[in-house]
């Protein structure tokens, strides 16, 4: 299923990108944020091992209740880890961080249309913006790897593939739209471990929403993700789909709020929180 998103003119869009640095797994979150603030871009899978990554969406205060309700009604794709005060660009999840500058790349939306993909949003920031920090599946990849589950997109230096599905989210006020999922090919012998380990981290999407035939989610071609990069699977791999924090961007496109700022898919905010803080057992 092909989504309605297109890169802004001259922007990087969703062309293939390598991981930001071969040593990025050893960076501290503070060091990673400093590099992104200085202009480094790229997918953050594998960056600052053991630290929680989050999705970002900032909306005007008069849309904030609708967004909060949308997240509450759709906790699999939208597990909220923090909500800021209106106008604030700080978060309890990362001491000294600036949500306007410390992500690799952003997306700026007006009336549901993507208008810019800058590396900071200082010029776009508004005093009425409320920011939602939403759990990211990159967080549980360390648990998968520790359990022996191969992470194909990390192995291949690719962004994780993400797809707009035919599965509708539960509407909330003025917000509605389809669920977005990320996909990781998993060998059959590792499928139980992938389900078990991710299910123990519900604050970062938890267990899969579907395993197997992508057409059950309305996905026609795994080789053409709506976001991120196609990933090469091994012959016996099973496609496994997790709810994705890009879902609020699908709601922005469908619901057309007058303004919003989001992260660029796969280019997340690195927090100081440790992954184990969100493990339930």
Cα(33)–Cα(196) distance, rounded to whole angstroms? 31
81 pLDDT higher than 80: yes
Mean pLDDT score, 73-100:
97
At residue 233, the pLDDT reads: 95
Mean pLDDT score, 237-259:
97
Q: Which residue(s) pair with 51 in the sheet?
A: 274
At residue 17, the pLDDT reads: 39
Please tell me the CATH code under which domain 141-243 is placed: 3.30.2040.10
At residue 111, the pLDDT reads: 98
Q: How far is CA 11 from CA 56, 105, 116, 194, 195, in A?
A: 19, 10, 7, 35, 36
Cα(98)–Cα(105) distance, rounded to whole angstroms? 13
Query: Is the fold of 24-136+257-278 the same as that of 141-243?
Result: no
9 pLDDT higher than 50: no
Mean pLDDT score, 125-154:
94
At residue 229, the pLDDT reads: 93
50 pLDDT band, cuts 50/70/90, is confident
Mean pLDDT score, 205-222:
97
Residue 166 phi, psi dihedral angles, 5° rounding: -90, 5
Instruction: Considering only CA atoms, give the Rg of the chain.
Output: 17
The pLDDT mean for the chain works out to: 91
At residue 2, the pLDDT reads: 33
22 pLDDT higher than 90: no
- Here the tokens at position 78 are 């939208």
At residue 12, the pLDDT reads: 36
- Here the tokens at position 46 are 């594998």
At residue 23, the pLDDT reads: 81
Reported CATH class of domain 24-136+257-278? alpha beta
27 pLDDT band, cuts 50/70/90, is very high
Quick: pLDDT tens for 181-208.
999 999 999 999 999 999 999 999 999 9
255 pLDDT higher than 70: yes
CB atoms within 10 A of CB 18: 13
Domain range annotation of the chain: 24-136+257-278, 141-243
Cα(262)–Cα(241) distance, rounded to whole angstroms? 22
At residue 8, the pLDDT reads: 31
Nearest CA to 93 out of 125, 128, 56, 126 is that of 56
Q: Say what the pTM is.
A: 0.89
């Amino acid at each position: 299923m092909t989504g309605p998103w297109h890169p802004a003119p001259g922007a990087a869009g969703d062309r293939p990108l390598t991981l930001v640095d071969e040593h990025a797994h050893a960076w501290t979150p503070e060091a990673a944020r400093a590099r992104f603030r200085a202009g480094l871009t790229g997918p953050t899978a594998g960056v600052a091992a053991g630290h929680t990554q989050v999705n970002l969406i900032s909306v005007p205060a008069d849309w904030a209740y609708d967004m909060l309700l949308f997240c509450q009604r759709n906790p699999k794709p939208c597990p909220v880890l923090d909500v800021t005060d209106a106008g604030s660009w700080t978060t309890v999840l990362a001491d000294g961080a600036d949500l306007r500058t410390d992500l690799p790349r952003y997306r700026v939306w007006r009336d549901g249309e993507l208008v810019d993909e800058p590396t900071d949003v200082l010029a776009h920031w508004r005093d009425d913006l409320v920011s939602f920090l939403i759990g990211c599946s990159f967080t549980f990849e360390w648990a998968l790897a520790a359990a022996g589950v191969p992470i194909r997109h990390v192995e291949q230096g690719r962004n994780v593939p993400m797809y707009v599905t035919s599965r509708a989210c539960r509407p909330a006020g003025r917000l509605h739209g389809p669920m977005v999922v990320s996909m990781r090919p998993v060998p059959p012998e590792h499928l139980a471990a992938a389900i078990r380990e991710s299910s123990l981290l519900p604050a970062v999407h938890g267990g899969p929403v579907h395993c197997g035939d992508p057409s059950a989610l309305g996905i026609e071609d795994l080789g053409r993700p709506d976001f991120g990069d196609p990933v090469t699977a091994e012959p016996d791999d099973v496609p496994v789909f997790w709810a994705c924090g890009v879902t609020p961007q699908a709601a922005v496109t469908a619901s057309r709020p007058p303004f919003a700022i989001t992260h660029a898919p796969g280019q997340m905010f690195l927090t100081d929180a440790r992954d184990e803080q969100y493990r339930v057992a």
